[in-house]
Amino acid sequence: MGFRESMRTTTLRELDLSSPILVPPETAVADVVRRMQAAHRGCALIVSGELLSGIFTERDVLEKIVGHPERYRDPVGRYLRADPPTLAPADTVETAIARMAELNIRHLPVVGPGGKPLGTIASGVLVRFLVEHFPREVLNLPPRHDQVLRTPEGG
């Protein structure tokens, strides 16, 4: 199967979805950030009951929390992005890449029927998918973006 066909047919359920960090909106920002760090995740999903109500990302920490130490005690619900765009497990890699590029984001929740969060898809997972399809080209990239190699092997 060619690369284009693979992008159009590979669904998110076939990829390595990250287990979501699920927290209620009243959780303190400091606790959410600690959980994100411990799990090496770039986002946490905010849930009301079992349903997705928002997302809190590394970007939110940088833009809304850093420089305001008092905000670490606030509930994360004050700083989340409500009703985030989502994907379904049946959506394709092509759809995920297009949505992330269009919205300039790096994390998307993947939800099942009724809005229950199943996981998150991160841009890094999509990059790995692309690299797997072009290993020779990626492995032969120069160490610096401005460097031009004389041979494919870099010699």
Q: Output DSSP code: residue 14.
A: G
Strand partners, 44: 56
Please name each of the domains of the chain with its CATH number: 3-139 (3.10.580.10)
The single residue listed with the structure tokens 């590394």 is 58
pLDDT category at 17 given cuts 50, 70, 90 is confident
Whether the pTM exceeds 0.85: the reply is no
Structure-token pair, residue 102: 């269009």
Identify the pLDDT of residue 6.
80
Which residue, among 16, 20, 18, 17, has the nearest Cα to 32 in the 3D structure? 20
CA–CA distances in Å: residue 59 to residues 42, 107, 143, 155? 9, 10, 27, 40
Q: Output DSSP code: residue 108.
A: E
**Each residue of 60-95: pLDDT tens digit?**
999 999 999 999 999 999 999 999 999 999 999 999
Identify the pLDDT of residue 70.
96
The H-or-E segment that residue 55 falls in is: strand 51-57
Amino acid at 155: G
For the chain, how many residues are written? 155
Asked whether 119 and 18 are in contact (CB, 8 A), the reply is yes
Asked whether 136 and 79 are in contact (CB, 8 A), the reply is no
Identify the pLDDT of residue 4.
76
